[in-house]
Amino acid sequence: MKKLVVFDLDGTLAQSKSAIDEEMSGLLYSLLTVARVAIISGGAWPQFEQQVLAKLPGEKGLERLSILPTCGTQFYEYTGKWHKLYAEDFTTAEKKKITDALNEVVNTLGYKAAKLWGPAIEDRGSQITFSALGQEAPLEEKKKWDPDFAKRQKMKALLAGIIPEFSVSLGGTTSVDITKPGIDKAYGIRKLRDILGIPIEEMLFAGDAIFPGGNDYPAKETGVACIKVRDPDETKRVIETIIACYTG
């Protein structure tokens, strides 16, 4: 059995920018009784608080849960309260360069939305995230914007030429995540290895974007055992199976 089960958040544990539902909450809480669990996502810390932590039925076993916001550029552990171990933030100049590049690409491709639900570009400290329809757009609207990732693949190609010194990945339903080079979910997996002392071969990763260019794919490249899921409902079945294997 694997010693650590690692999950993506949006599209895996919950619908994009939505809270985990009651069934998922119960399953995660049950999983914490039999295994260590980690969640890595492009979202910022407040997203984890709202989408996951506030929905769990209690605090028992939280010391077995590791939270890695912004694709692993931050790491939180629970010791009676949540504590941030590290954050690898951009400088002011780096943030400006990335933001300028995003605006240039959006204008070049004609992707500026007629209506935004919140800001399109979010500074998450150690990650800059572009959300085509805004950070708070309704899920149904987001699903229609780029269902096959084709629009964001074009963005990624242009950004690679403008800001080659940064890493660009695709996640969620309308998002493009930009981090420092080498800072992605592979980085997060290695941080889990180093901080928790668990070898990568003793981990299992589940995500919905495990394909070249997807923001879960770097995790696969570490050699961690992966399960690609379609959506949170399939993740629930995976968690049920894992719990059954642990409990016999």
Nearest to 62 by CA among 47, 49, 46, 44: 49
Asked if residues 169 and 184 have their Cβ atoms less than 8 Å apart, the reply is yes
Identify the helix (H) or strand (E) that includes residue 225: strand 225-228
194 annotated among ligand-binding-site residues: no
β-strand 225-228 against 203-207: which pairing, if any?
A: parallel
Q: Is 8 a catalytic residue?
A: yes
Catalytic annotation, pick one of 10, 146, 184, 216: 10
Q: Which residues of 71-93 are buried (b: 16+ CB within 10 A; e: fewer)?
A: bbbbbbbbeeeeeeeeebbbeee
Identify the helix (H) or strand (E) that includes residue 193: helix 185-196
8 annotated among ligand-binding-site residues: yes
146 annotated among ligand-binding-site residues: no
208 annotated among ligand-binding-site residues: yes
Distance, first Cα to last Cα, the chain: 11
Q: Is 231 a catalytic residue?
A: no
148 annotated among ligand-binding-site residues: no
The number of helices, as runs of H, and strands, as runs of E, in the chain is 8, 11
Beta partners for 168?
178
Nearest to 55 by CA among 19, 15, 80: 19
233 annotated among ligand-binding-site residues: no
Query: What residue numbers does the annotated binding site for Mg(2+) cover?
Result: 8, 10, 208
Catalytic residue ranges: 8, 10
Query: What residue numbers does the annotated binding site for alpha-D-mannose 1-phosphate cover?
Result: 124, 175, 177
Query: What residue numbers does the annotated binding site cover?
Result: 8, 10, 124, 175, 177, 208
